[in-house]
Chain A
């Protein structure tokens, strides 16, 4: 017996390889965006509305607005706050989630309170946090954390609770405990749910980053969009919206890359079970 009688690679992988050619694939990805931009162009050019500049005007303004000082004063501070808020939310969510996932009594004890806090829409906390913390970076981080922590926390709890009892017994038999048990059994086993929670948390964090800057701020992407709108710099306002969209796409792609690495085993296992 050798590795050669292992099951063939999953069907999905084969399909992707023999499926659409590269040219067709590029067309698939680009066709709809190009059509949408053309439609927007036709609409905005024919209406001549002051509030609806053509894509050409927005593209022309984009460089002037963002490839200068604003990258330092608005874009980078926003991204910095977004990533630190998300990291903080992830650390709290996963840490607390593991503790609550492992302890049924603690879970029962804290569940009603968690349900209540989760039900509060995080933007309403902005006025309160402004009073408590002040108009500063810690306040914005607190807003981001208060929103993105929930999907991470709840998914981690579920993931930790769902650890296979046979694997738990295996760990006990072989004396695997403490830190090694936490990292090789609990966290790895819960990682598909944790990653799902992190993905949701990341999109919530982007939304809250913008909202926290719109309320009270003197820098940041949300602040810039509001400022442009108030001063009737309409094409500039549009470039801010486009930049936020692009930021979301880039972060989602980066997240996907990390996820594919971390969950390679999970996707492989799923593909085999689906085919089997």
Chain B
């Protein structure tokens, strides 16, 4: 479904070039839910922007359903970390969700049905007429998620979407993502810096190294499909997996430390 091959991104500067991503290769199968986790400043956002077609990689390719990604592909939706800045404050919740559908030239009835279904799915059916800034942070991110779902993407990219919401809201939103992934059968790539979140959400966790980034480890999460904030997190296998991911990230950090001393 999504093929990333030999992806490299170098930012050309006046003084020196910065190699943010060195050599990334991975593949997501159709309908997979994978989490990308890595130490802070490891180029997660750069990688996501390259996959979303918002940024051109220096070398390497991104292919979505067999086609090269050269600009934002029509069957991909992105949920950004800065929910407050990715919603249009001059449009209502309904207006925000409907806007991309208008650009898709869908007929009016179809748009209304998609908006209603996606707002219902994120639990905001009665907030359609409100403006985003009248809602709490967690609710605003739900609007951004509803907008992404209404777009009917085959691939959903999420860039640290819950980094700015409080812990309880975050747990609700994590469960929401699992539910939506089951209900709408999309391929989901979820970027996070939170190890617990990555293991709890994903079928698979891709661990990134420090910048310049490569794939440090690819961990299959063999937890039961039905996840629950209490029982899953208390599962010894969960603890084992998060321990492994944690150790890999520590290795990744040490890797850079060693590299900078020689």
A residues lining the B interface (CB < 8 Å): 1-3, 5-7, 164, 166-167, 169-170, 172-177, 180, 184-185, 188-189, 191, 265-266, 268-269, 272-273
Q: Whole-angstrom distance between the alpha carbons of A273 and B76 in the complex?
A: 32
Residue B221 lies at the interface, judged by CB distance under 8 Å to chain A? no
Number of interface residues of B (CB under 8 A): 39
Contact assessment for A269 and B123 in the assembled complex, using a CB-CB cutoff below 8 Å: no
Q: Whole-angstrom distance between the alpha carbons of A106 and B36 in the complex?
A: 41
Q: Whole-angstrom distance between the alpha carbons of A170 and B52 in the complex?
A: 11
Tell me the smallest distance from the CB of A188 to a CB of chain B, in Å.
Answer: 5
Residue B91 lies at the interface, judged by CB distance under 8 Å to chain A? yes
Contact assessment for A167 and B136 in the assembled complex, using a CB-CB cutoff below 8 Å: no
- Say yes or no: A188-B123 contact (C-beta < 8 A), given A174-B103, A180-B103: no
User: Told that A164-B85, A169-B86, A170-B86 touch, could you supply 10 new A-B pairs with CB distance under 8 A?
Assistant: A1-B124, A3-B134, A6-B134, A7-B136, A172-B53, A173-B76, A174-B72, A177-B103, A185-B88, A272-B134
Tell me the smallest distance from the CB of B230 to a CB of chain A, in Å.
Answer: 20
Q: Whole-angstrom distance between the alpha carbons of A169 and B48 in the complex?
A: 12
User: Max chain A CB contacts within 10 Å: which of B74, B78, B89, B138?
Assistant: B89
Contact assessment for A174 and B88 in the assembled complex, using a CB-CB cutoff below 8 Å: no
- Say yes or no: A6-B102 contact (C-beta < 8 A), given A167-B86, A175-B72: no
Query: Which residue of the partner chain, among A5, A175, A185, A191, contacts B104 with CB atoms under 8 Å?
Result: A175
Which residues of B in the span 3-19 have a Cβ within 8 Å of any Cβ on A?
none
Query: Which residue of the partner chain, among A166, A176, A265, A266, contacts B99 with CB atoms under 8 Å?
Result: A176
Contact assessment for A268 and B82 in the assembled complex, using a CB-CB cutoff below 8 Å: no
Contact assessment for A188 and B151 in the assembled complex, using a CB-CB cutoff below 8 Å: no
Q: Whole-angstrom distance between the alpha carbons of A266 and B172 in the complex?
A: 30
Nearest chain-B residue to A5 (Cβ)? B136
Q: Whole-angstrom distance between the alpha carbons of A167 and B102 in the complex?
A: 17
Tell me the smallest distance from the CB of A167 to a CB of chain B, in Å.
Answer: 6
Q: Whole-angstrom distance between the alpha carbons of A1 and B100 in the complex?
A: 25
Query: Which residue of the partner chain, among B71, B89, B136, contacts A265 with CB atoms under 8 Å?
Result: B89
Chain B residues within an 8 Å CB radius of A191 = 90
Contact assessment for A1 and B99 in the assembled complex, using a CB-CB cutoff below 8 Å: no
B residues lining the A interface (CB < 8 Å): 49, 52-54, 71-72, 74, 76-78, 80, 82, 85-86, 88-91, 99-100, 102-104, 123-124, 126-127, 130-131, 133-136, 138-139, 142, 147, 151, 172
A-B contact pairs, 29 of them (CB 8 A): A1-B138, A2-B127, A3-B126, A3-B127, A6-B130, A6-B136, A7-B134, A7-B136, A164-B85, A166-B82, A169-B80, A169-B86, A170-B80, A172-B53, A172-B72, A174-B103, A174-B147, A175-B72, A175-B104, A176-B100, A176-B103, A177-B103, A180-B103, A184-B88, A189-B90, A265-B133, A266-B89, A266-B90, A268-B133
Chain B residues within an 8 Å CB radius of A177 = 103
Nearest chain-A residue to B172 (Cβ)? A1
Q: Whole-angstrom distance between the alpha carbons of A209 and B89 in the complex?
A: 37
Nearest chain-B residue to A172 (Cβ)? B72
Q: Whole-angstrom distance between the alpha carbons of A5 and B124 in the complex?
A: 12
Tell me the smallest distance from the CB of B145 to a CB of chain A, in Å.
Answer: 13
Contact assessment for A166 and B102 in the assembled complex, using a CB-CB cutoff below 8 Å: no
Tell me the smallest distance from the CB of B56 to a CB of chain A, in Å.
Answer: 13
Chain A residues within an 8 Å CB radius of B103 = 174-177, 180
- Say yes or no: A268-B131 contact (C-beta < 8 A), given A3-B126, A170-B86, A172-B54: yes
Chain A residues within an 8 Å CB radius of B53 = 172
Contact assessment for B88 and A188 in the assembled complex, using a CB-CB cutoff below 8 Å: yes
Chain B residues within an 8 Å CB radius of A176 = 99-100, 103
Q: Whole-angstrom distance between the alpha carbons of A7 and B86 in the complex?
A: 20
Q: Whole-angstrom distance between the alpha carbons of A3 and B126 in the complex?
A: 7
Q: Whole-angstrom distance between the alpha carbons of A119 and B61 in the complex?
A: 52
Chain B residues within an 8 Å CB radius of A189 = 90
Contact assessment for B130 and A3 in the assembled complex, using a CB-CB cutoff below 8 Å: yes
